[in-house]
Amino acid sequence: MVKNDVKLTNMTLVASVDPFKEIWKGWTHAGEGIAVKVLRVEERTDAKLLKGLSTEAKAWQKLSHPNVLPFHGLYCVDSDLPSLGLISLWMEKGNLTQFLQKEDVGRVPFILDIVEGLEYLHSFQPTILHGSLKCVSD
Protein backbone atom coordinates (compact mmCIF):
# COMPACT_ATOMS: atom_id res chain seq x y z
CA MET A 1 0.00 0.00 0.00
CA VAL A 2 2.98 2.37 0.42
CA LYS A 3 3.85 3.94 -2.94
CA ASN A 4 7.43 4.56 -3.98
CA ASP A 5 6.74 5.98 -7.43
CA VAL A 6 5.84 9.50 -6.29
CA LYS A 7 8.32 12.18 -7.31
CA LEU A 8 9.41 14.49 -4.53
CA THR A 9 10.68 17.01 -7.04
CA ASN A 10 8.20 19.76 -7.84
CA MET A 11 5.97 18.87 -4.88
CA THR A 12 3.91 21.98 -4.17
CA LEU A 13 2.09 22.88 -0.97
CA VAL A 14 -1.48 23.62 -2.00
CA ALA A 15 -3.28 24.13 1.31
CA SER A 16 -3.01 23.86 5.06
CA VAL A 17 -6.25 22.12 5.97
CA ASP A 18 -5.98 22.55 9.71
CA PRO A 19 -3.16 22.57 12.28
CA PHE A 20 -2.57 18.86 11.58
CA LYS A 21 -2.90 18.37 7.79
CA GLU A 22 -1.53 19.79 4.55
CA ILE A 23 -2.43 19.07 0.92
CA TRP A 24 0.46 18.75 -1.53
CA LYS A 25 0.39 18.36 -5.31
CA GLY A 26 2.90 16.00 -6.87
CA TRP A 27 3.45 13.65 -9.77
CA THR A 28 4.07 9.96 -10.28
CA HIS A 29 7.04 8.87 -12.38
CA ALA A 30 4.50 8.27 -15.16
CA GLY A 31 3.51 11.95 -15.02
CA GLU A 32 0.09 11.46 -13.40
CA GLY A 33 -0.97 14.34 -11.14
CA ILE A 34 -1.60 13.30 -7.54
CA ALA A 35 -2.77 14.90 -4.33
CA VAL A 36 -1.10 13.93 -1.06
CA LYS A 37 -2.87 14.72 2.22
CA VAL A 38 -0.03 14.80 4.74
CA LEU A 39 -0.39 14.52 8.49
CA ARG A 40 1.96 17.05 10.07
CA VAL A 41 4.21 15.25 12.51
CA GLU A 42 5.73 16.86 15.54
CA GLU A 43 7.84 15.21 18.20
CA ARG A 44 4.73 14.93 20.37
CA THR A 45 2.23 13.90 17.70
CA ASP A 46 -0.78 12.34 19.30
CA ALA A 47 -1.12 8.61 18.59
CA LYS A 48 -4.85 9.25 17.92
CA LEU A 49 -3.96 11.29 14.82
CA LEU A 50 -1.78 8.51 13.42
CA LYS A 51 -4.44 5.90 14.22
CA GLY A 52 -7.08 8.06 12.52
CA LEU A 53 -4.97 8.33 9.35
CA SER A 54 -4.43 4.56 9.39
CA THR A 55 -8.16 3.92 9.86
CA GLU A 56 -8.98 6.28 6.98
CA ALA A 57 -6.47 4.54 4.70
CA LYS A 58 -7.77 1.06 5.57
CA ALA A 59 -11.38 2.05 4.91
CA TRP A 60 -10.63 4.08 1.76
CA GLN A 61 -8.64 1.30 0.08
CA LYS A 62 -11.73 -0.95 0.16
CA LEU A 63 -13.91 1.54 -1.73
CA SER A 64 -14.73 1.36 -5.43
CA HIS A 65 -17.49 3.59 -6.76
CA PRO A 66 -17.68 6.12 -9.63
CA ASN A 67 -18.62 8.89 -7.16
CA VAL A 68 -15.87 8.19 -4.63
CA LEU A 69 -12.33 9.37 -5.36
CA PRO A 70 -10.04 6.31 -5.64
CA PHE A 71 -7.35 5.72 -3.03
CA HIS A 72 -3.87 5.34 -4.50
CA GLY A 73 -1.94 4.43 -1.36
CA LEU A 74 0.19 5.81 1.45
CA TYR A 75 3.26 7.93 0.99
CA CYS A 76 6.05 8.21 3.53
CA VAL A 77 7.24 11.81 3.52
CA ASP A 78 10.99 12.17 3.99
CA SER A 79 11.84 14.88 6.48
CA ASP A 80 13.51 15.30 9.84
CA LEU A 81 10.31 13.91 11.35
CA PRO A 82 8.82 11.28 8.99
CA SER A 83 5.14 11.59 8.23
CA LEU A 84 2.52 9.72 6.23
CA GLY A 85 0.36 11.00 3.42
CA LEU A 86 -2.76 9.65 1.72
CA ILE A 87 -2.49 9.62 -2.09
CA SER A 88 -5.36 10.28 -4.51
CA LEU A 89 -5.64 11.64 -8.03
CA TRP A 90 -5.18 15.38 -8.50
CA MET A 91 -8.35 17.00 -9.82
CA GLU A 92 -7.10 19.38 -12.53
CA LYS A 93 -10.38 21.29 -12.62
CA GLY A 94 -10.19 21.97 -8.88
CA ASN A 95 -12.66 21.28 -6.12
CA LEU A 96 -16.41 21.44 -6.71
CA THR A 97 -16.66 25.15 -5.86
CA GLN A 98 -13.85 26.06 -8.28
CA PHE A 99 -15.32 23.87 -11.02
CA LEU A 100 -18.82 25.35 -10.72
CA GLN A 101 -17.40 28.90 -10.81
CA LYS A 102 -15.61 28.17 -14.11
CA GLU A 103 -18.12 25.92 -15.86
CA ASP A 104 -21.66 26.73 -16.92
CA VAL A 105 -23.28 23.47 -15.82
CA GLY A 106 -26.32 22.48 -13.82
CA ARG A 107 -25.86 21.63 -10.18
CA VAL A 108 -28.53 18.91 -9.87
CA PRO A 109 -26.38 16.15 -11.47
CA PHE A 110 -23.61 16.89 -8.96
CA ILE A 111 -26.05 16.74 -6.06
CA LEU A 112 -27.29 13.35 -7.28
CA ASP A 113 -23.70 12.07 -7.66
CA ILE A 114 -22.86 13.18 -4.11
CA VAL A 115 -25.97 11.46 -2.74
CA GLU A 116 -25.10 8.24 -4.60
CA GLY A 117 -21.54 8.35 -3.24
CA LEU A 118 -22.80 8.89 0.30
CA GLU A 119 -25.35 6.10 -0.08
CA TYR A 120 -22.50 3.82 -1.16
CA LEU A 121 -20.40 4.79 1.90
CA HIS A 122 -23.33 4.31 4.23
CA SER A 123 -24.03 0.83 2.81
CA PHE A 124 -20.82 -0.57 4.37
CA GLN A 125 -20.84 -2.47 7.65
CA PRO A 126 -19.69 -0.80 9.74
CA THR A 127 -21.03 2.33 8.06
CA ILE A 128 -18.45 4.74 6.69
CA LEU A 129 -19.22 8.36 7.49
CA HIS A 130 -17.46 11.18 5.62
CA GLY A 131 -16.29 13.43 8.42
CA SER A 132 -15.75 16.65 6.44
CA LEU A 133 -18.06 16.73 3.43
CA LYS A 134 -17.98 20.13 1.73
CA CYS A 135 -17.31 21.55 -1.72
CA VAL A 136 -13.69 22.16 -0.71
CA SER A 137 -12.88 18.70 0.62
CA ASP A 138 -9.78 17.60 2.53
Domains parsed from the chain with CATH numbers: 9-123 (3.30.200.20)
Of 86, 107, 85, which is closest to residue 97 (Cα–Cα)?
107
What is the band of 65 on the pLDDT scale with cuts at 50, 70, 90? very high
Predicted pLDDT of residue 62: 92
Average pLDDT over residues 45-66: 84
Predicted pLDDT of residue 61: 92
User: What is the three-class DSSP state of 6?
Assistant: strand
Task: List pLDDT tens digits, range 79-132.
Answer: 655 577 889 999 888 888 888 889 989 999 999 999 999 999 999 888 888 877
Residue type, 125: Q
Average pLDDT over residues 41-46: 62
Rounded to the nearest 10 degrees, how much is the dihedral formed by the CA atoms of 80, 47, 90, 105? -140
